[in-house]
Amino acid sequence: MRNSMSCMIGLMALSVMGTGPADQEGNAPGVAREKREKATFAGGCFWCMEPPFDKLDGVISTIVGYTGGQEKNPTYEEVSSGKTGHAEAIQIVYDPSSVTYAELLDVFWRNIDPTQMNGQFADIGRQYGTSIFYHSQEQKQLALASKDELEKSGRYDRKIVTEIVPAGAFYSAEEYHQDYYKKNPIRYKFYRYGSGRDKFLKKVWQKDG
């Protein structure tokens, strides 16, 4: 379970059930279907993973949810218990002619601690671990190459433990989790600051500007 800085701060007492496997196709008029691809990442608290991707040109939509486990239609409370095998994750629909998968990977790495096992910052448990869920062999190879490059960079003094695994069923999180940073900006900023994420990222990436 999360500590006092948990994403549960200020949430509604009554939650909305998950909506099942996410289908983001056909939700952005004017964008040709053949120009759409998906990317799925787990980077700890999914509230913190939407902002950096939402601001990218070429990203059509983002949705937070649960993936990596076997249980169908899990709820937030079930995933938070750590018993479902699912992780909090973000699924991105993007136009590869405007933003590449390699660029998405770069944003992913710059917003996590890839050396932390079974957790991210203040959130502890496998459900908050980091993973790249690839949707094609091309994504797999790009993910492996980017991980290898980061390991060789000497940026971290510990081994990178982020998993690179095949994408499976992705279940949308409850509506109140979607775009949480927009719906509840004060609570979001309070959680994010308290989690230690920004302090860590600034220390690791400050030389890059």
Residues serving a catalytic function are 45
| Encoded tokens for 127 | 């459900």
- Total Cβ atoms within 10 A of residue 3: 11
Cα distance between residue 121 and residue 155, in whole Å: 18
The residues, any chain, with a CB within 8 Å of residue 116's CB and separated by 6 or more, are: 129, 130, 161
Cα distance between residue 158 and residue 155, in whole Å: 9
One DSSP character per residue, 115-159 reads T-TTEETTEESGGG-EEEEESSHHHHHHHHHHHHHHHHTT--SS-
Tokens 């700890």 map to which residue? 44
- Total Cβ atoms within 10 A of residue 204: 17
